[in-house]
Amino acid sequence: MTIRELTIKEIRQTYKEHLKRDFPVEERKPLAMIERSYRWGDYLCLGAFEDGRMTGYAFFVFCGRNCLLDYYAVLPDLRGRGIGSEFLKRMTDTALTDRADILLIEVENPRYAAMEADLSLRKRRLDFYLNCGIIDTGVEANVFGVEYRLLEYPLSAAHTPSEAAEAYDGLYRHLLPPLLYRRNIKVREE
């Protein structure tokens, strides 16, 4: 597996061909927002490749040394083959670790699943990350009506729930205008 930064052309292609399919509309940022953040140096897009074919992608947003895994997916026909775990483990071999002190991950909170099928999917996603050594921070958030558990990829020593909440809050304050932030972002420690 080769992991490398995506070009702006590849970012656009990945967004249109994959991200729009892989993430529900309420979780997707407009492509223009991603491109703007990328041009400002606040965004990093990585692709995992095997024999020249993209197998997965990871998009990250930054505010200073705080980082949030914005989107992460393995292409549907390749899921269940260990690609996601390998990609997650190896992404720290990239420029990511030079740019971040804390890497946070949002996972849909199983406690707020509306149906049994949704609960099962949310638990599977959470278990995937926890089985890869990702740490549950004890922080929850409501972001534009979607309930999340906040996890931390241990780049170095794990942060306290307060530190994780503060870093997460700072990322969204950086990304959004104040009124939009106040109306749509609620961060809380358990």
18: nearest Cα among 51, 59, 52? 59
- Taking only the tens place, the pLDDT of each residue in 77-93 is 888 889 989 998 888 77
Decide if pLDDT at 110 tops 90. Answer: no
pLDDT of residue 56: 95
Instruction: Tell me how many domains the chain contains.
Output: 2
Amino acid identity for residue 99 in this structure: R
Continuous segment of H or E residues that includes residue 129: helix 116-131
- Which residues does 99 contact at the CB level (< 8 Å), separation at least 6? 44, 62, 65, 67
Which two tokens mark 72? 């992460």
The two beta strands, 53-63 and 102-108, are unpaired
pLDDT of residue 105: 95
C-alpha to C-alpha distance for 41 and 55, rounded to whole angstroms: 25
Host domain of residue 122: 101-190
Helix or strand or coil: residue 154?
Answer: coil
**79 and 129 assigned to the same domain:** no
- Taking only the tens place, the pLDDT of each residue in 4-58 is 999 999 999 999 999 999 988 878 889 999 999 999 999 999 999 999 999 999 9
**5 and 93 assigned to the same domain:** yes
**150 and 118 assigned to the same domain:** yes
β-sheet bridge partners, residue 186: 142
Continuous segment of H or E residues that includes residue 107: strand 102-108
Decide if pLDDT at 115 tops 90. Answer: no
pTM of the model: 0.89
**Buried/exposed code over 67-92 (b: 16+ C-beta within 10 A; e: otherwise):** bbbbbbbbbeebeeeebbebbbeebe
β-sheet bridge partners, residue 54: 49
Amino acid identity for residue 84 in this structure: G
**136 and 187 assigned to the same domain:** yes
**138 and 73 assigned to the same domain:** no
**45 and 115 assigned to the same domain:** no
Query: Of 82, 98, 114, which closes a domain?
Result: 98
Alpha carbon 83 to its chain's center:
16
